[in-house]
Amino acid sequence: MVVEKNAPLQPWNTFGIAARAHTLVRVRSAADVHAVLADAALAPQPKFVLGGGSNIVLTGDVKPVVLKMEIKGRRLVEETSKAWIVEAGAGEVWHDCVAWTLEQGFPGLENLALIPGTVGASPVQNIGAYGVELQDRFDSLDAIDLVTGQPFTLDAAQCGFGYRDSVFKHSPSDALGPQGLPRGMGLGGRAVITHVRFRLPKPWKPVLGYLDLERRRVEAGVEQPSAQQIFDWVCEIRRAKLPDPAVLGNAGSFFKNPTVSPEQCSDIIARDPKIVHYPMPDGSIKLAAGWLIDACGWKGKTIGKAGVYEKQALVLVNRGCGADSVTGGEVMTLAKAIQTSVYERFGIRLEPEPVVV
């Protein structure tokens, strides 16, 4: 177990916010987690689990002990006539893991290429892109209870996946658990994920419904694309639309796409006929938050050192750099100003996607 004091967190969050961890532990195995829990000084302190730092806004120095997940390893656990089951350590870089599965001949994660972050964070917010969500490819995960030290395994149902949601985003005291599961279902702050297993179904079928992807397929004149082609197209689309955190700090989509009732949607369409909306299987309508923010004139705007990305209004970016980077406070001030203007114009409350620490 490697323990660092007063550790800089700027390299470990994709927004590039300058903050420090009072104590940071590099967790390279499940045994490291047990060592933390057996350590007289560390055990009683609150813990904060840090993956790739791609979905957090740091509003100050972090007082809880930061467990920086660096558990590595990727392997095929099982192959049946119906699926490949692949396991990866929580500290593996998500995109590298996707690329590796394709190289090994296990397709299925290609639509999720280039999502920043680590494998261990992927179930926490049920990452999704281009018509596929993690829950569609999830088998199970191993975790350790940070209070009791007990290791446990969860299947998909036990993870309570929803849109950018899972048991790991809810604390036990939340009024509602994920997807309306009862109070007490949350594991937020209580568990650390060590390994994730993916179920990649056979025979592989491409998922092409998403407009941007379909457009790319037609342009390429390909009827039956391979998983590798889809991977390449997803990478191209993302690179064209989304800022590379290594170049311009950001945390991906800053707000969730809101859902409204058909009545509420008709009301908005009557005023704004161009609004981008998608009917959902449960009868509700999902609206494109990026479109709502764009319609309020925010694209390319900056407050302090927090900006709205010029090519995708759903992404907030760090206009500062190094020691002069944006602060978490500036990001949240911009986020609140956006929420207010979207509420005033459309009557919709946007919910932030990243975790504010």
Stretch that binds ligand EPU, among 82-90, 185-193, 214-222, 306-314 (CB under 6 A): 306-314
**Sole window of 7-15, 253-261, 326-334, 339-347 interacting with ligand EPU (rule: CB under 6 A):** 253-261
Q: What residues are labeled active site?
A: 164, 253, 353
User: In angstroms, what CA-CA distances link 356 with 32, 161, 328?
Assistant: 26, 20, 8
256 binds ligand EPU (CB under 6 A): yes
Q: Does 353 bind ligand EPU (CB under 6 A)?
A: yes
Q: Assess 258 for contact with ligand EPU (CB under 6 A).
A: no
CB atoms within 10 A of CB 47: 22
CA dist., res. 155 & res. 141, Å (int): 7
230 with 242: CB under 8 angstroms? no
299 lies in the binding site for ligand EPU (CB under 6 A): yes
Three-state DSSP state, 156: helix
Selected binder of ligand EPU within 129, 200, 230, 317 (CB under 6 A): 129
Q: Does 327 bind ligand EPU (CB under 6 A)?
A: no
Contact 137, 200 (CB under 8 A): yes
Give CA–CA dist 43/100, Å, rounded.
Answer: 36
Q: Does 192 bind ligand EPU (CB under 6 A)?
A: no
- Residue 253 sits in the site that holds ligand EPU (CB under 6 A): yes
| Contact flag: residue 291 with ligand EPU (CB under 6 A) | yes
Shortest distance in whole angstroms from residue 146 CB to ligand EPU: 26
**Alpha carbon distances (Å) from 357 to 21, 46, 50, 54:** 11, 13, 11, 13
Q: Which is nearer to ligand EPU, 108 or 252 (CB)?
A: 252
Q: Which two tokens stand for residue 28?
A: 């390279």
Binders of ligand EPU in range 28-87 (CB under 6 A): none
CB of 161 to ligand EPU, least distance (A): 14
Residue closer to ligand EPU (CB basis): 217 or 241: 241
Half-sphere exposure of 302 (CA within 13 A, CB side): 10
Q: How far apart are CA 166 and CA 133, in angstroms?
A: 12
Asked if 357 and 58 count as a contact pair (C-beta separation under 8 A), the reply is: yes
**Interface contacts to ligand EPU, rule CB under 6 A:** 129-130, 210, 241, 252-253, 256-257, 276, 288, 290-291, 294, 299, 312-314, 353
